[in-house]
Amino acid sequence: MATTKVDPKLSENNIANKAKTYQGLTSQQLIDAYRIMFTSRRLDDREILLKRQQKVYFQISGAGHEALGVAAALVLKPGYDWFYPYYRDRALCLALGATPLEMLLGAVGAADDPSSGGRQMPSHWAYKRLNVVTQSSCTGTQILQAVGCAEAGRYLARHPNASQKAGGDYRQFKDVQFRGDEVTYVSLGDGTTSEGEFWEALNTASNRRLPVIFCVEDNQYAISVPVEVQTAGGNISRLVSGFPSFHFEEIEGTDPVVAYASFKRAADYCRAGHGPAFVHAHVIRPYSHSLSDDERLYRPDSERQADAARDPVPRLQMFLLREGILDEKGINKIEKEVEEQIQADADRALDAPVPQPETIYHYVYSPDLDPTSAVFDAHPALPAPEAATEGKPAAASPNKSPQNKASLNKTMADLINATLRDEMRRDERIIIFGEDVADASREEYLKQKQVKGKGGVFKLTSGLQVEFGSDRVFNSPLAEANIVGRATGMATRGLKPVVEIQFFDYIWPAMMQLRDELPLIRWRSNNAFSAPVVVRVAIGGYLTGGAIYHSQCGESIFTHTPGLRVVFPSNALDAAGLLRTAIRCDDPVLFLEHKRLYRETYGRAPYPGPDYMIPFGKAKVVQAGTNLTVITYGAVVPRALQAAQKLEREHRISVELIDLRCLSPFDWDAIAASVKKTNRALIAYEDSLSWGYGAEISARIADQLFHHLDAPVKRVAATDTFVAYQPILENAILPQASDLFRAMKELAEF
Ligand SMILES: Cc1ncc(C[n+]2csc(CCOP(=O)(O)OP(=O)(O)O)c2C)c(N)n1
Ligand SMILES: [Mg+2]
């Protein structure tokens, strides 16, 4: 706990009972604890007042949870251990060293609010210097991230060289620190234990024996919903008690001495490497859920009075008096000092400069490393037989003879595998995990050469566990939020997780992490934190039999999320160059790999060497033309090319075919230059037509190139259905070369 300044005279004059300790806590520590708890409560009161005066815009209190916070901070170390608190943890943050002024700057939304620069609601704590990691409003997303944070600490302790800075990529801008016995603290409410991610986090922490303290602050309510509705049997401790390797505590969380002793046992257990700890603390919530809630609508006076008798602030005050640690004068002195400080800090916060509107685009992406820049423009190494085997892609190439020129041509699967391998050799911060990505989790089978290993359902990660070890390449549980949430926590610490979502169709359990967490970490923390994760996803149809749940696209759902880069290559060389950029850049990237293209003859290429990169947001003109522009990407590229070539042959219509390659950011300049030349635009994509990626491109062309158009902007896409199993239906649903041919011809003849 950060020490607060205590008047030495106060200590001299008013502490009667100096020698006695309470579970190891000295009188002075208890006095300090009281000061912080009282400060926390009065800050809530002040914010409530300011909210009523419309000088702050939201208030949620930590009232009733204060004893727990100070107790945790007496055990854990700011800037050493890691903290994923939730909004009731004001006292924890104060005790770790955050100041009342910093909190009030958050309440008024000041530019200097250290948690978010006025971007997040108050009580969404983030203090970089204290290792208090940015949190969101989503209940429960912090828990898997905390697990990832703890995993990162352990990985770094085993791979200390990974922490070194290196030039030329994201590592230059990412400080990494770790301690061998560090602990990650994460807290949540009783209601939040109903979220699936809570259980996923316990599962992984238990399985990997991670040093995480899970603190459930059980105030019996989640807004108006009581605990027995959330939790079968009404007690979360009973439900979680079966998780192996955990240390469990169930305590009265309004008593700081009890809570201190409990956290001490929990932290000792974690630091010793035995596994995680679970502290279930019973607390109270005296101030309704937030200032937008009136608990008298659903809680009778009797219940509220019973809670009041356990209020931690008067409770500790009584304790100090009863034990003779402070007399009334001593209490009054502390309280007066706190009131004066809060008054002065509130005045300063109200006078503090507010953020300027022109800053809103700051930190959507990394300000340090621009993946669209020339830094990421590195040409392929000249194809040579020896170079072609450099990355030793493990996935089989159909060509046997290295002398055969065709054997130099690698599939997209080959080159993705080679790129991962090259990058892992170069950068020890890279960790790969996901469903089935390991060669074999039971590694003794590999060591004894009993099995060859799997390496992904599409074999894209084949051989990586064998080369880099199970610390760096491993299977996750079958839980997509688990994959992305943990990766986010790891990346916050400086690692580079390159995780795999097995099928795009099953990305949705990770949606909260992908929409509300990963892409927002930098922006919402005003650049204090970042999480440049790469999420590789097998996507798309044209599989003949892929059906509804193995054919989906849906890229526009993600291009609609600021902060996320979205890439969708159509050939082997682009996949290699763009994946390397994705890995080396400083932003989170959704890397979409079309399953049908993994081993397609179209788009094979020689191994381009270990440094080949393509900047994001640069389209490729697949073929130049004059009569119309076709803008497309992914598996539609070869189909559109086929249609364009037929059109040229049969009708002398010349198509300019643009492969976007990167969907966010996208290459508007290439589109505009082409449409200005051809005056006709067709956007072709595999996803269902309506509200799809083409809608945005079409709207931009209509908006900005209207005067250059000789025909309406057209789209070709899948039908507004899902993809069916029967090939006759699949063909009718997904855009075919014949559909593209027809649409191109009509547009050219318009
Ligand atoms: C995922 C999600 N669902 C709903 C909400 C709205 N919400 C905010 S706090 C809250 C209740 C949380 O209760 P609990 O976990 O018990 O914490 P407490 O507020 O009682 O401390 C709800 C439903 C949210 N923020 N996030
Ligand atoms: Mg609650």
- The residue to mutate among 58, 125, 214, 223, having the most atoms of ligand 1 within 8 angstroms of its beta carbon, is 223
Query: Does residue 74 carry a pLDDT above 70?
Result: yes
Query: What integer pLDDT is reported at residue 176 of this predicted model?
Result: 97
Ligand nearest to the CA of 198: 1
Can you tell me the mean pLDDT for 382-411?
Answer: 54
- The closest residue, in CA terms, to atom 18 on ligand 1 is 189
What mean pLDDT, rounded, does the chain reach? 94
Q: What is the pLDDT of residues 358-372, one digit of tens each?
A: 999 999 999 999 999
Compute φ and ψ for 182, nearest 5 degrees: -65, 155
Can you tell me the mean pLDDT for 180-189?
Answer: 98
Can you tell me the mean pLDDT for 716-740?
Answer: 98
Which of 455, 472, 381 is CA-nearest to residue 413?
455
Give the Å distance between the CA of 288 and the centre of ligand 2: 10
Query: Does residue 748 carry a pLDDT above 60?
Result: yes
Query: What integer pLDDT is reported at residue 382 of this predicted model?
Result: 63
In sequence order, what are the residues at sequence separation of 6 or more whose Cβ sits closer than 8 angstroms to the Cβ of residue 321? 327, 328, 331
Q: What is the pLDDT of residues 85-134, one digit of tens each?
A: 999 999 999 999 999 999 999 999 999 999 999 999 999 999 999 999 99
Q: What is the pLDDT of residues 134-156, one digit of tens each?
A: 999 999 999 999 999 999 999 99
Residue with token string 């727990």: 68
Query: Does residue 180 carry a pLDDT above 80?
Result: yes
Query: What integer pLDDT is reported at residue 526 of this predicted model?
Result: 98
Give the Å distance between the CA of 130 and the centre of ligand 2: 26
Give the Å distance between the CA of 222 and the centre of ligand 1: 6
- The residue to mutate among 192, 230, 298, having the most atoms of ligand 1 within 8 angstroms of its beta carbon, is 192
Can you tell me the mean pLDDT for 169-190?
Answer: 96
Query: What integer pLDDT is reported at residue 190 of this predicted model?
Result: 98
CA distance 266 to 205: 14
- The closest residue, in CA terms, to atom 13 on ligand 1 is 222
- Tokens at residue 679, please? 């005056």
Query: Does residue 447 carry a pLDDT above 80?
Result: yes
Query: What integer pLDDT is reported at residue 10 of this predicted model?
Result: 46
Atom of ligand 1 lying closest to residue 290 CA: 19
In sequence order, what are the residues at sequence separation of 6 or more whose Cβ sits closer than 8 angstroms to the Cβ of residue 103? 43, 90, 93, 94, 122, 123
Which of 651, 650, 647, 671 is CA-nearest to residue 659?
671
Exactly one of 550, 560, 594, 707 is catalytic; which is it?
Answer: 550
Q: What is the pLDDT of residues 684-706, one digit of tens each?
A: 999 999 999 999 999 999 999 99
Predicted TM-score (pTM) of the model is 0.95
Query: What integer pLDDT is reported at residue 395 of this predicted model?
Result: 43
- The closest residue, in CA terms, to atom 7 on ligand 1 is 139
Query: What integer pLDDT is reported at residue 408 of this predicted model?
Result: 81
Name which of 77-91, 305-319, 369-383 the model is least confident about.
369-383
CA distance 676 to 682: 13
Atom of ligand 1 lying closest to residue 227 CA: 16
Ligand nearest to the CA of 87: 1
Atom of ligand 1 lying closest to residue 289 CA: 19
Can you tell me the mean pLDDT for 172-186?
Answer: 96
Give the Å distance between the CA of 189 and the centre of ligand 2: 5
Can you tell me the mean pLDDT for 659-671?
Answer: 98
Atom of ligand 1 lying closest to residue 140 CA: 1
Torsion angle in degrees (nearest 10) through CA of 91, 96, 99, 102: -90
Ligand nearest to the CA of 60: 1
Query: What integer pLDDT is reported at residue 130 of this predicted model?
Result: 98
CA distance 179 to 713: 58
Give the Å distance between the CA of 342 and the centre of ligand 1: 28
Residues with CB under 6 A from ligand 1: 88, 137-139, 188-192, 217, 219, 221-223, 285, 289
CA distance 167 to 340: 49
Please say if 550 is a catalytic residue: yes
Query: Does residue 463 carry a pLDDT above 70?
Result: yes
- The residue to mutate among 123, 139, 193, having the most atoms of ligand 1 within 8 angstroms of its beta carbon, is 139
- The closest residue, in CA terms, to atom 11 on ligand 1 is 222
Give the Å distance between the CA of 205 and the centre of ligand 2: 23
Atom of ligand 1 lying closest to residue 195 CA: 1
Atom of ligand 1 lying closest to residue 65 CA: 21
The percent of residues in the chain predicted with pLDDT above 90, rounded, is 93
Amino acid letter, residue 720 = D
DSSP 140: T
* pLDDT band at residue 407 under the 50/70/90 scheme: low
Query: What integer pLDDT is reported at residue 405 of this predicted model?
Result: 58
Give the Å distance between the CA of 189 and the centre of ligand 1: 7
